Structure 1
C-alpha cells in the first residue's frame, strides 16, 4: 500500500517509493497505521514483517453515508535489515495522503 506523503525520516529506514520500512539496527519498534475509507466501501490491511502476516486491520463503511477510519498500534522486535510494510487485501477505496498513515519509531 503506498504511503508516499513523508513528514519525517530519520535514519532513512523508510522508502516512500516502496512504502517499506527496513530496520537500520536491532531493537524494539512501534508501528502505527490508520486507514480511512469513503462511504459505502471497505478496506482490509495487514502489517507484514519479512513477508509474514503479523496483524490485520480493516475499515468498513458499507451502508454508511460518512467515511470510516480505524487504527492499530503494534510493537515489533526487529533485527537489522528486517522489512515491515502494510499490505492491502480487499480494498474498494481508501483515502490516502494525511488521512491514511503509517508510522514507526525505535523505542529501545
Structure 2
C-alpha cells in the first residue's frame, strides 16, 4: 500500500514538473513570437523608408540626366563655334577655368561654368555660318496693321538666330547683314515692311484688283545689327492678306551675315 502511494506521489510530481516545463516553453514561445512581430514591424518601416529614399534618388537621377543632356547640347553648339585646329583660350584662361571648376565641384554636384569666346574669334568662326530662310506654309487674311508677319517654317537656320514662333531674327554678334523678303498678296492692297529694332528699313506694296488676281514682289536691304538687335517683317496695312502654301513658298524671309 505504501509503495502504491509512493508511486502515485512520484507520478503526480512528475506530471506537475512536465506541466511547468510546457508552461515555461509556451511563455518563451510567446516572447519569441512577440520579438519576431516587433522585428517584422521594424523591417517594414525600414523598407518604407528605403522606398522613399529610392524614389528621391530616381528624381535626382532624372534631373541629372536632364542637366547632362543640356550640357551635351551646349557642347555640341560650342564645338561648331570653334575653328578646326585652333584653341579658343590661352593657357592662362585654361588654368583659371580649371581652378574655378575645382573650387566649385563639390558633393558630386555638376558645376556649370560660363564659356566666354573672344568677340573677334566668334565673328571669324561664325562668318558665313549665320544664315536663315523661313517661309509661310498657309494663307493669312485680315492681318492687322502693325502685326508681325510670322513665317513659321524653316528651310535653314544656321546659328539659330531666327525664331519661327515669333518671326524675329536676333543677331548673336554684331555685323553687317543682308536681308531679303518676298510676299504674295491676294485681292486688295498689301504692304509689308522690314524692320530693324522697330525702325522701318524697306518695304513691299502689292495690289490685286480682281478676285482671282495675285500680286508678288521682292525687296532686299543690307544694314548693320549690333549684338542682340533684331529684324522682322511687319504688316503696314489694315486687313492685308498673304498667299502661300506648304509646297509653294510664296512668302519668304532670308538673311545672313556678310562681315
| TM-score when normalising by structure 1 | 0.91
Which structure is higher in helix share? Answer: 2
Distance 2:244 2:210 in 1: 21
Distance 1:51 1:12 in 2: 21
* TM alignment of 1:20-31, pairs within 5 A: 20-31=168-179
The alignment status of 1:106 with 2:253, answered yes or no, reads no
- Structure showing greater Rg: 2
Q: CA deviation at 1:19?
A: 0.2
Q: CA deviation at 1:68?
A: 0.8
Distance 1:5 1:41 in 2: 25
Any conservation in 1 of the 2:191–2:240 contact (CA below 8 Å)? no
Distance 2:244 2:172 in 1: 26
Q: CA deviation at 1:66?
A: 2.6
The alignment status of 1:8 with 2:156, answered yes or no, reads yes
List alignment gaps of at least 5 residues for structure 2. 1-148
Name which of structure 1's ranges 50-59 and 29-38 shifts more when overlaid on structure 2: 50-59
Q: CA deviation at 1:64?
A: 6.8
Q: Which has the higher relative contact order, 1 or 2, with Cα contacts under 8 A spaced 6 or more apart?
A: 1
Q: CA deviation at 1:52?
A: 1.3
Q: What per-residue deviation string (whole Å, max 9, x for no partner) do you get for residues 21-63 of structure 1?
A: 001111111000000012x222101111111112221111124
What number of residue pairs does the alignment pair up? Answer: 107
| TM-score when normalising by structure 2 | 0.40
1:2 partner SS: coil
Q: Which residue of the partner structure matches residue 192 of structure 2?
A: 45
The alignment status of 1:66 with 2:182, answered yes or no, reads no
Distance 1:78 1:72 in 2: 18
Distance 1:87 1:19 in 2: 9
Q: CA RMSD in A?
A: 1.4
1:9 partner SS: strand
